[in-house]
Copies of this chain bind each other. A is one copy, B any other.
Amino acid sequence: MPESSIEARVAALLTEHNLQLGIAESCTGGLMGHRLTDVPGCSRFFRGGIVAYSYEIKETLLSVAHQTLLQYGAVSAEVAVQMAIGARQVFHSDYGLSITGIAGPGGGMPGKPVGLTYIALAFDGGTVWQKHIWHGTRAENKNQSVEAALQFLLDTILTGEGALHVGV
């Protein structure tokens, strides 16, 4: 892991400011936690993660509302935001960061193509989210989602302007 990796920059920033992070992942399956824990000493800022691969787990562990899942689907801004809020609550962390998407190659549907991914961040001041559509392989889409989520966290902390949409 090069020192300039995005996970190293996240680690340095959060540690410097004594901030704690909890995460919730769906399509990335644990990759974001893996990347964050490649940083030695990550327990100073990383409290843990939940990989929620079903409606039921999103509801029971992350308090995503059943009605939201039914109304908007698991891959939606609304669910990403609730996952981020849930992660922040479960892990009693300053930030809750979530990813939900369709990594492919299957799973696409009308209006929700393969590669569609939502990222959300919850913090004391509210929630912000981003939408992406990746066009890579399953592995590439997972990687791009994690890179984007960690960059979103960095941007939001550093500038407060990293969001495409605020206050969902």
Interface residues of A (CB under 8 A from B): 1, 23, 25, 27-34, 36-38, 40-43, 46-54, 56-57, 60-61, 90-92, 103-106, 138-139, 142
Contact = CB atoms under 8 A, between A and B. Distances in A.
Nearest to A103: B37
A61 B49 CA distance: 11
B40 A138 contact: yes
Nearest to A105: B40
B48 A50 contact: yes
Contacts of A106: 40-41
A37 B48 contact: no
B30 A25 contact: yes
A168 to B, nearest CB: 24
Contacts of A50: 48-51, 61
B38 A34 contact: no
A94 to B, nearest CB: 15
Given A1-B139, A40-B105, A30 B49 contact: yes
A29 B33 contact: yes
9 contacts: A1-B139, A25-B30, A29-B37, A29-B38, A31-B34, A42-B53, A47-B53, A49-B50, A50-B61
Contact of A30 (B27, B32, B104, B105): B32
Contact of A29 (B42, B57, B90, B92): B42
A90 B52 CA distance: 11
Given A30-B33, A139-B1, A48 B41 contact: no
